[in-house]
Structure 1
Amino acid sequence: MISLFSSIPINSPLLTTNSAAHSTGGRVFLPSKCKCFAADQQPQAPRNKSQKPRQKPPPPDSDRKDALDPAGFLSKHGITNKAFAQFLRERYKALKDLKEELLKQYYDLQEMVSGFELLGMHRNVQHRVDYMDWAPGARYCSLVGDINGWSPTKDCAREGYLGHDDFGYWFVILEDKLKDGEEPDDVFFQQYNYIDDYDKGDSGVKVEEVFQKANEEYWEPGEDRFIKSRYELAAKLYEQIFGPNGPQTEEEMEEIPDPMTRYMAWKEEHKDDPPSNLPPCDVIIDEDNEDDEFEIVTDPAWREKFKNKKPPIPYWLETRKGRKAWLKKYIPGMPHGSKYRVYFNTPMGPLERIPAWATYVIPEADGNQSYAVHWEPSPESAYKWKHKHPSKPKSLRIYECHVGISGVEPRVSTFNEFTENVLVHVKEAGYNAIQLIGVLEHKDYFTVGYRVTNFFAVSSRYGTPEDFKRLVDEAHGLGLLVLLDIVHSYAAADEMVGLSFYDGSNDCYFHSGKRGHHKFWGTRMFKYGDHDVLHFLLSNLNWWMVEYQIDGFYFHSLSSMMYTHNGFATFTGDVEEYCNQYVDNDALLYLILVNEILHFLHPNVLTIAEDATFYPGLCEPTSQGGLGFDYFVNLSASELWLSLLENVPDHEWSMSKLVSTLVGDKCNVDRMLLYAENHNQSISGGRSFADILFGSANTEVALLRGSSLHKMIRLMTFTIGGSAYLNFMGNEFGHPKRVEFPMPSNNFSYSLANRCWELLEDELHKKLFAFDKDMMKLDIKDRVLLRGSRGLPNIHHVDDTTMVISYSRGPYVFVFNFHPTNSYERYSIGVEEAGEYQITLNSDDEIYGGQGLIDRDQYSQRTISRKTDGARYCLDVPLPSRTSQVYKLTRILRV
């Protein structure tokens, strides 16, 4: 038995536009009198993308009663605040209510994040392209473009003709045209494989032969009925119970015996009939219900046997043809490369917009209006993935990149140039992940990519979707994870290319009034309490994971979304500041959903939270009242380093403040990501540390100071806390130039919008890079950033007078002397283990641009049985000024 259940994707407009029996998210609603089979009880076809049968996911952690404590992390970390605990419990109840509301509209949470399979452009099995978008304020919509001479009426969806449904979704259908001399397929089921494995199919076997083969090899007697309509089964069951001329109205029902009497009479009449092709079923009558409501149920034994069968997917796949066969026979209704926009007729008048779900967009250029590009390359030019995802590392060494400024020349670089020139350098440098900023389409290049206009599109200024897939794939081939800097905390305010006033109203995607605008950045703020906005944003994350094989996300500026004051407020440390009237609870619920759904659908995904306010529970499990992120960013570390370099004389640096800031919250130190400087320190008027340290250094002493501090700052940031470290492109070798994107203030110059890779041949910068590479090896060889108790730093010594800091982590002891002039011939530091220690990294080594003041015979030190810094043993080590050393225990001594 092969039915429409196993050949029409659940997102087919056939199922979503039928007014008599509307299907929403896989549930089929029949007349209220008869509760029949739901769609999930039938053998279903795989989704278009995955080719795997869909299963309803188990409840996430927050719904598991055995693991649930909505305020559990508070007691875990000794936080006692009744107001915040009550806030967390109320938030859990709101989350539960939100899920229940969402599941009324969607089959499950997985269905909710797969909007890209339904909305925007997608190919349908009936040889057509379906366009679907959400525009609740529009009277009708159409596609205008070079497909129809930019006509707003040729391919339109008017009310009454493929109009919007109850949720405000609009449909437009473009039919593929049969080429001259070609014959149409005999049977509808001879569908085409448009998405995956382009060449799969084309077996030449007729569909009737496949059905016959399935009936003979798969289905048992009594099950071999070919169902021609998804409603035929219900209709046949109804006819089986009431006869071919059964009652059609309630009035007719009153003129005949009650349903049970009719059913028992029918059963007696047909007791000697041969076996039916329909599954065995029975009827349950609710005698206490005045409406005589009944339910058709199948035999439990048959249902269990049927449930245990694997879906007949091989037979279903045999009925498909490869896309080459489709291109040979049909002219696409929307050819690859077609330009288009969506045209809305709204109460505000006609509007042309870039579709919200467009996957490739050409922004406004030379005064021309932006347009979307239909991206559906031929099998020959479509990218084919070669590499699998790298394993999820226990520590992260992230290389932050911007593709556009990654080249030597003062122009916008491309994905392909980045793939060829930068990825190998990242691998050589010892990093295990790249983090890309500015990839999502944005209209204005000078915004670095943070004012996103098109959330599903890679920026066309860098290349095509296929180019970006190649970048990701080649990175995976080198063992590098690919993380995407994602901006869901706000959006561009552009109307012609972005989402602002998308359907003519002010609050389609965003809050209306002041709340819909960022107080300082001129951007729009999403209304996270709207189900369709949730659908859009969650589907957007899943799109990048599925379509581009991304490994995770760095969530930019969460404080902008979590508070109605956008994070621009003074935080005193009072816990109630995280649950007062300025907290956007809808945004917090969205972030919980993000982590629960992404971690279920993609178990190896990494999520990183950038929040300047240190919101409690960022990385705690959602079942314990947390938000569920894998890492959080300690923004204070970089700000402190910058402040010291620019504002504080070297001899006044506070070692205590340094340590307390970099170590951060000891409760979550193993989830912390640290960086000395990211892109913020070197773009649009900012200065990189190398620029500060070397910019005015015209003497050998000044260069030595700059080189020494550059290495020490990075080494301490890398090793003192957290299991993740980030560095911005070029700063590993002391890139001296800041980055400034072309804008009116610099006459749109690209002179500072590039990277000086040629500096790697310069003696100073080559030595700085050598130090950074050997610093990375501390983690590559001995897992110094390893998450867990082994990876926590043990701070032994912090002295503001001598300006010396020492701590141990993993197998290493780290010693820093930040004093600008004082050197120490024998400085005592406490250690945990008795034994021999060997210097494995010395910032003053000549190969790293240092003076080499420590003799080689001093590289090995033996512990002394003297209590120091609370430890039983100590090392007396030489400490030249402005140097740092890393000691490794090479031999344990029995004492």
Structure 2
Amino acid sequence: MMNLNLIKTDPWLEPHAAEISRRHDKYLRKLDEINEMHGGLKHFASQYQWMGLHAENGEWVIREWAPNATAIYLIGDFSNWEPRVAFQFIRKDRGIWELFIPFEFLKHKDHFKLHVFWDGGNAHRIPSYARRVVQDETTKVFDAQVWSPDQPFEWTDSPFKLGSDDFHPLIYEAHVGMASEEEKVASYTEFIENVLPHIQSLGYNTIQLMAVQEHPYYGSFGYHVSNFFAVSSRMGTPEELKQLINTAHNMGIAVIMDIVHSHSVKNELEGLSNFDGDRTQYFDQYDHPAWDSRCFNYNKDEVLGFLLSNCRYWIEEFHFDGFRFDGVTSMIYHDHGLEKDFTGYDDYFHGVCNEEALCYLTLANKLIHEVKPNAISIAEEMSGYPGLAGSIEGGGIGFDYRLSMGVPDFWIKLIKEHADENWNVGQIYHELSQHRVEERTISYAESHDQALVGDKTIIFRLADKEMYDHMSTGWRHLVIDRAMALHKMIRLVTIATASGGYLNFMGNEFGHPEWIDFPREGNGFSFKYARRQWSLVKNPDLRFKELNEFDKSIVNLFSDERLLTKHLQHRFDNGPDQVLAFSRGDYLFVFNFNPVQSFTGYGIPVNAGKYKVAFTSDDEEFGGFNRIEKGQMYYTQAIESGQHQLLLYLPARMVLVIKKQEIKRVY
């Protein structure tokens, strides 16, 4: 049994050491097998360079994996969309089919499909490695499309570097299609022109793009993927997505992708399901009970190669800087973690795990960092599986970060179930700062999940219907004042206690007032709620701009000062007063969550020195009451035992951000 660092770090794992080592050995054996049979992991993940449609030696070649097929034909206008002998594939080894055809039969933007035959049936299929899939506006049918522009895309982002090993992502989660104020599907080009400058001004250093992989149903938010190598054509061409990433890189902003390898859409005409007449070609026998989708079989080398190749493809072809892996909990448990409480370590190690999925994720993380050493990999995982974001060498799965999915749940529960005067500041600090010792996490107060119909954003929970009539700067309203004060405090305490990175969904920074509801039969296929109302933040007569300015200040502070690289130090919490203080580097954060009581001369223990107010949530530009002068200087006072403290004025519902000043000595 290996002596893994994961177990050294967490002695409570010792009773499960043998199981952890066995699972780690399973990964090592698979890696050795890949190295021996395929010449290395990176080469094993190069299948996208060989499978699918390519130009080779002056002609087209297309290859497909379909072991259950009895015949495959390429069909299109060139064949009158019927199977013809001239376009029949030849079966090769290991279920691979291959067809060579002259260039004259296919040109850029031509549509094509496969006609696959098997014992007892046949159907049209889109090639599994198709790089471009488009939908006919009239028939709504999807076709593969030849994508071979005369001129390759010219990248100009070579100076961009993701950052050093201590890079901490400040993530702006975005959905390009709903990023316009117009009631339509927005484009990659419009995102470049209208949204990238906004993100840059806010100080975020990373963009997380949703819904990149092609999906037949727009309302799935991109999570029911049909074509894993195809850029969603609703929002533009592959070159336009490349230009978005290229432009972001030239702004100094990394771009990661919300990648879906946890399941696939059930659609047979558009996706992989029943591709060659065998429902288990890519997938398990049973469908996902909650998502109505197909679950990958990670025990097959062909599936591993397909998914690993997909990771390499998006990094190398589109210069993505990493991935947020969706649905990891669903992947790593045979029961998908549904309706299950994980209350102890036994829940992770008593036969419930999908070990093939754990092996795949470990291989994926090794590959991603082999292809791009400073890439970012994030796990959307809620069970708390030990070592998920621990190093592979130490026995972990190798993710760089785990999403702190409990944080938004905590805020929802606190707002819904507890009156403001009962908020426990010690509990707030504990819930926001806790994490496994071997892991870094991405903290967030709310993501796209909290903005969907059926849920509520924080600002909507706090202000509700009053947002529609009382967001004018011309007068004050008690409900809005409370909502804005707590919105600012919640977001700042969440980023300030983060143990790795921070995430915000687009529009939440300025308190976007309405939910997200994609076009569907139930709303008359309307785009009214599948958009972002940027005009609200640009309107000088509305208070949304004040929330936006506050978000800009806190994100730029953490970006410019690299505060997430600094040690988080708890200073003080007083439950009855609802006052919380902690520091990072030279910055002290003092929160007074008390809804009614302000304090004067309030003592906060700190290191001796001089301190200056950087800003407060009460500043007038942030919609506050300006009760503390910006730039005000404080000097510590000595107390017993050689300790020092600051005596501060702390207005109700306010956070004070203070910076320790360097004292210049005169000799």
TM-score band w.r.t. shorter chain: over 0.9
Does the CA contact (< 8 Å) of 1:488 and 1:537 recur in 2? yes
Q: Distance in 1 between matches of 2:290 and 2:629?
A: 55
For residue 785 of structure 1, give the secondary structure of its aligned residue in structure 2: helix
Does residue 116 in structure 1 map to residue 48 in structure 2? yes
For residue 383 of structure 1, give the secondary structure of its aligned residue in structure 2: coil
Does residue 891 in structure 1 map to residue 665 in structure 2? no
Amino acid at match of 1:849: G
Q: Deviations for 1:503-548, whole angstroms, at most 9, x for unmatched residues? A: 1111010011x3xx11211111101111000000000010101111
Q: Distance in 1 between matches of 2:266 and 2:393?
A: 36
User: What is the match of residue 72 of structure 1?
Assistant: 5
State the 1:115 CA deviation.
0.6
How do 1:467-546 and structure 2 match up within 5 A?
467-512=240-285, 514=286, 517-546=287-316
Does the CA contact (< 8 Å) of 1:147 and 1:339 recur in 2? no
Structure 2 unaligned blocks of 5 or more: 471-475
Count of residues in correspondence between the two structures: 652
User: What is the match of residue 187 of structure 2?
Assistant: 414
For residue 548 of structure 2, give the secondary structure of its aligned residue in structure 1: helix
User: What is the match of residue 443 of structure 1?
Assistant: 216
Amino acid at match of 1:879: L
User: What is the match of residue 688 of structure 1?
Assistant: 457
Q: Distance in 2 between matches of 1:104 and 1:168?
A: 21
Q: Deviations for 1:639-698, whole angstroms, at most 9, x for unmatched residues? A: 1112222332211222222111111226146x1110111111112332222222333335
Choose 759-768 or 607-616, whichever is displaced more. Answer: 759-768
Does residue 784 in structure 1 map to residue 563 in structure 2? yes
Does residue 799 in structure 1 map to residue 571 in structure 2? no
User: What is the match of residue 164 of structure 1?
Assistant: 92
User: What is the match of residue 753 of structure 1?
Assistant: 530
Which residue, out of 872, 880, 884, partners 2:643?
872
For residue 703 of structure 1, give the secondary structure of its aligned residue in structure 2: helix
Amino acid at match of 2:625: Q
User: What is the match of residue 353 of structure 2?
Assistant: 583
User: What is the match of residue 143 of structure 2?
Assistant: 371
Does the CA contact (< 8 Å) of 2:342 and 2:383 recur in 1? no
Q: Distance in 2 between matches of 1:628 and 1:867?
A: 47
Q: 1:454 to 1:80 in 2, by over 3 A?
A: closer
Does the CA contact (< 8 Å) of 2:256 and 2:323 recur in 1? yes
State the 1:498 CA deviation.
0.9
User: What is the match of residue 126 of structure 2?
Assistant: 354
Does the CA contact (< 8 Å) of 2:202 and 2:556 recur in 1? no
Q: Distance in 1 between matches of 2:99 and 2:368?
A: 31
Q: Distance in 1 between matches of 2:629 and 2:305?
A: 64
Q: Deviations for 1:714-765, whole angstroms, at most 9, x for unmatched residues? A: 1101111212111111111111111111112212111111111001223411
Q: Distance in 1 between matches of 2:427 and 2:383?
A: 18
State the 1:104 CA deviation.
5.0
User: What is the match of residue 186 of structure 1?
Assistant: none
Does residue 621 in structure 1 map to residue 548 in structure 2? no
Does residue 849 in structure 1 map to residue 618 in structure 2? no
Does the CA contact (< 8 Å) of 2:87 and 2:101 recur in 1? no
Structure number with higher strand proportion: 2
Does residue 838 in structure 1 map to residue 612 in structure 2? yes
Query: Between the two proteins, what is the percent identity of the paired residues?
Result: 34
How do 1:165-204 and structure 2 match up within 5 A?
165=93, 167-176=94-103
Q: Distance in 2 between matches of 1:591 and 1:486?
A: 12
Q: Distance in 1 between matches of 2:32 and 2:263?
A: 27
Structure 1 unaligned blocks of 5 or more: 1-67, 177-330
Q: Distance in 2 between matches of 1:803 and 1:867?
A: 24
For residue 511 of structure 1, give the secondary structure of its aligned residue in structure 2: strand
Q: Distance in 2 between matches of 1:338 and 1:727?
A: 40
Structure 1 length-normalised TM = 0.71
State the 1:110 CA deviation.
1.4
How do 1:764-783 and structure 2 match up within 5 A?
764-783=543-562
Does the CA contact (< 8 Å) of 1:808 and 1:814 recur in 2? yes
For residue 98 of structure 1, give the secondary structure of its aligned residue in structure 2: helix
Q: Distance in 1 between matches of 2:154 and 2:639?
A: 64
Which has more radius of gyration?
1
For residue 292 of structure 2, give the secondary structure of its aligned residue in structure 1: coil
Does the CA contact (< 8 Å) of 1:397 and 1:725 recur in 2? yes
State the 1:72 CA deviation.
2.0
For residue 622 of structure 1, give the secondary structure of its aligned residue in structure 2: coil
Does the CA contact (< 8 Å) of 1:782 and 1:811 recur in 2? no
Which residue, out of 100, 103, 109, partners 1:337?
109
State the 1:884 CA deviation.
0.3
Choose 361-370 or 734-743, whichever is displaced more. Answer: 361-370
Which residue, out of 16, 26, 30, partners 1:98?
30
Q: Distance in 2 between matches of 1:469 and 1:484?
A: 13
User: What is the match of residue 653 of structure 2?
Assistant: 882
Does residue 609 in structure 1 map to residue 352 in structure 2? no
Does the CA contact (< 8 Å) of 1:484 and 1:552 recur in 2? yes
User: What is the match of residue 246 of structure 1?
Assistant: none
Does the CA contact (< 8 Å) of 2:613 and 2:630 recur in 1? no
Q: Deviations for 1:189-222, whole angstroms, at most 9, x for unmatched residues? A: xxxxxxxxxxxxxxxxxxxxxxxxxxxxxxxxxx
User: What is the match of residue 341 of structure 2?
Assistant: 571
State the 1:438 CA deviation.
0.7
For residue 75 of structure 1, give the secondary structure of its aligned residue in structure 2: helix
Amino acid at match of 1:93: D
User: What is the match of residue 473 of structure 2?
Assistant: none
State the 1:492 CA deviation.
0.9
State the 1:497 CA deviation.
0.4
Does the CA contact (< 8 Å) of 2:615 and 2:630 recur in 1? no
Amino acid at match of 1:136: P
How do 1:208-357 and structure 2 match up within 5 A?
331=104, 333-357=105-129
Q: Distance in 1 between matches of 2:136 and 2:408?
A: 36
Does residue 431 in structure 1 map to residue 204 in structure 2? yes
Does the CA contact (< 8 Å) of 2:74 and 2:88 recur in 1? no
For residue 79 of structure 2, give the secondary structure of its aligned residue in structure 1: coil
Does the CA contact (< 8 Å) of 1:839 and 1:886 recur in 2? yes
User: What is the match of residue 483 of structure 2?
Assistant: 706
For residue 534 of structure 1, give the secondary structure of its aligned residue in structure 2: helix
RMSD: 1.8
Choose 139-148 or 698-707, whichever is displaced more. Answer: 698-707
Amino acid at match of 2:515: R
For residue 79 of structure 1, give the secondary structure of its aligned residue in structure 2: helix
Does residue 462 in structure 1 map to residue 462 in structure 2? no
Q: Distance in 2 between matches of 1:396 and 1:337?
A: 38
Does the CA contact (< 8 Å) of 2:516 and 2:529 recur in 1? yes
Q: Distance in 2 between matches of 1:856 and 1:405?
A: 38
Amino acid at match of 1:732: E
Q: 1:139 to 1:428 in 2, by over 3 A?
A: same
Does the CA contact (< 8 Å) of 1:732 and 1:769 recur in 2? yes
State the 1:890 CA deviation.
0.6
Q: 1:739 to 1:709 in 2, by over 3 A?
A: same
State the 1:363 CA deviation.
3.6
How do 1:635-650 and structure 2 match up within 5 A?
635-650=405-420
Q: Distance in 2 between matches of 1:477 and 1:153?
A: 49
Q: Distance in 2 between matches of 1:551 and 1:395?
A: 13
Amino acid at match of 1:121: L
Does residue 141 in structure 1 map to residue 68 in structure 2? no
Does residue 731 in structure 1 map to residue 508 in structure 2? yes
Amino acid at match of 2:289: K
Amino acid at match of 1:603: P
State the 1:560 CA deviation.
0.6
For residue 565 of structure 1, give the secondary structure of its aligned residue in structure 2: coil
Q: Distance in 1 between matches of 2:118 and 2:500?
A: 52
Amino acid at match of 1:106: H
Choose 401-410 or 740-749, whichever is displaced more. Answer: 740-749
